[in-house]
Structure formats: C-alpha cells, structure tokens
Amino acid sequence: MGDRILIVDDEIEIADLIEVYLNSENYTVFKFYSAKEALTCINTTELDLAILDIMLPDIDGFTLCQKIRSKYTYPIIMLTAKDEETDKITGLTLGADDYITKPFRPLELIARVKSQLRRYKKYNPAHSENDEKDILTHSNLVMNVKTYECFLNEKPLILTPTEFSILHILLENKGCVISAEELFHRIWKDEYYSKSNNTITVHIRHLREKLNDTLNKPKYIKTIWGVGYKIEE
C-alpha cells in the first residue's frame, strides 16, 4: 500500500482531480468534501500527509490544520484560492509545511507532495532504515536526527517536518550563516524563490516561539540582518 494522503476540499472537481493524479502515483487517498467528515478519518487513520483547502463550508482549513498539528507531525499542504500573503503566513504559522495557490498545475502539486514525503520519511523513525544515533546539541537543545526527536531542557519539543529541517540545517552548520534562500532551496529543492518570499521567516519565527527564544537576545537562532540565520558555536 502506498503512502496515505488526506484530501479535504469542497470543490468536488478539484478534489476528484487531485485524487486521480495521486492514485496514478500509487498513493492511497482519503478524500472528503468537508472538514467534519474528514475529522473521523484524521482521528482513526494513520496518515502520511494532508492536503487542506482553506475555504471550507463548515470548519475552515486553518482550524483543521491546528487540530491535526495538535496531535500529529505529518506534512500539511494548504490550498488557497487567493494569492494573499496573509493566508500563506497564517497557514505556515499554524503549522502547515507548504501552500499552493489555485489554480495550480496538478503535476506541481504532485512534486510538492513528493518533496514533503521525502523529508518526512527521512526524519520520521517509523520510516527510518538507519538505527545509528545522530545527535546534535546546542546549550539545552538536543536533536536526534535518526529518531526525529528534539528536546529542550529535557522536555520533548514538538516540531513540524519543515521546522525540524530548518533547525537540523542550522545545528549541522553551527557558527555558519545560512541565508533564507539557501534554507529554502535545501528544503524545497527546485522550488522558485524570491526575496519577497516570507516562508522561511515565518518558520523561523515559529521555531523561536517553541524554543522560547527572542529576536533581540537569541539563545539559539540568531538573525544576521541582510545575510541570514545562524546558531553560534
């Protein structure tokens, strides 16, 4: 059985089209036209990725994203009919890993799905084939790359796949400044990046909140203005 993907979109034609393309890639699809219908599946089915429309008739996609993220760490891709920065930032802040604007090319969505699943499998212990420990530390922060675990002050730190990837890159390159563009390309590979893209900024802000870090006196992620981000050695 292929990876299990949830689709929630009230536009029947779009949901059906996504299902056709995902099935052609041998994914197992769970498709719903409303959030309430999807909630039962979310709570009872082991999923690998969710594709959520923002504009749903009952519970909006943002709320559904929050409900998923409160329990699970699998990737979430948001669909938005409006190319509005506020929608994208809201989704990312609530724990989404990526977003795509309607109308979109189905093959682009498939490429995003594959990219997110690659990273999720790489860091998720259920999918990991390598049992060797790979521990990264900084101050009171401990990351186990192989078991996809992160601890702050010996307490579990719950991170989304994108947040984990950003923190992993920064910890691996302690003392080095990594630009937002480099982070973007290392995480999303061949996706288009522009300087107006706030994706990394939003994820960094979310990471800082979880690390109880501050912009002015950072203990972990330091902003080098006009250059990028780094974790001091």
Residue 105 within a domain: yes
Give the per-residue pLDDT at 129: 47
pTM recorded for the entire structure: 0.62
Give the per-residue pLDDT at 32: 95
Residues 170 and 111 occupy one common structural domain: no
- Residue ending a domain, among 71, 90, 123, is 123
Checking if the pLDDT of 61 tops 80, the result is yes
- Residue ending a domain, among 72, 92, 123, is 123
Residue 130 within a domain: no
Q: Which residue has the higher pLDDT, 88 or 128?
A: 88
Q: Phi and psi (nearest 5°) for 158?
A: -90, 115
Give the per-residue pLDDT at 22: 94
For the chain, the domain total comes to 2
Residue 128 within a domain: no
The rounded distance, in Å, linking the Cα atoms of 60 and 84 is 16
Residues 100 and 23 occupy one common structural domain: yes
Place of tokens 């990046």: 193
What digits encode the pLDDT tens for the residues 11-44? 999 999 999 999 999 999 999 999 998 999 999 9
Average of pLDDT values for 145-160? 86
pLDDT confidence bin for 199, thresholds 50/70/90? confident
Beta strand pairing status for 155-156 and 221-224?
Answer: unpaired
What residues form DSSP beta bridges with 37? none
Residue 85 within a domain: yes
The rounded distance, in Å, linking the Cα atoms of 132 and 36 is 41
Q: What CATH number has the domain bearing residue 180?
A: 1.10.10.10
Checking if the pLDDT of 125 tops 80, the result is no
Give the per-residue pLDDT at 39: 92
Give the per-residue pLDDT at 132: 40
Q: Specify the long-range contacts of residues 107-113, CB closer than 8 Å, at least 24 apart.
A: 107/21, 109/18, 109/21, 109/51, 109/77, 110/21, 110/22, 110/25, 112/77, 112/191, 113/5, 113/22, 113/27, 113/49, 113/51, 113/77
Checking if the pLDDT of 192 tops 70, the result is no
Residues 110 and 215 occupy one common structural domain: no
Residue 17 within a domain: yes
pLDDT confidence bin for 196, thresholds 50/70/90? low
Residue 75 within a domain: yes
Q: What CATH number has the domain bearing residue 56?
A: 3.40.50.2300
Give the per-residue pLDDT at 13: 94
State both tokens at 98: 């990526």
Residues 34 and 83 occupy one common structural domain: yes
Residue 129 within a domain: no
Residues 143 and 46 occupy one common structural domain: no
Burial class (CB in 10 A: 0-12, 13-18, 19+), 131: exposed
Residue 178 within a domain: yes
Residues 111 and 141 occupy one common structural domain: no
Give the per-residue pLDDT at 130: 43
Residues 74 and 162 occupy one common structural domain: no
Residues 86 and 168 occupy one common structural domain: no
Average of pLDDT values for 174-185? 89
Q: The domain containing residue 226 runs over which residues?
A: 135-231
Residues 11 and 116 occupy one common structural domain: yes
- Residue ending a domain, among 96, 123, 150, is 123
Residues 98 and 193 occupy one common structural domain: no
Residues 49 and 81 occupy one common structural domain: yes
Give the per-residue pLDDT at 194: 64
Residues 217 and 148 occupy one common structural domain: yes
What digits encode the pLDDT tens for the residues 65-107? 999 988 888 999 999 876 666 666 776 777 788 888 888 889 9
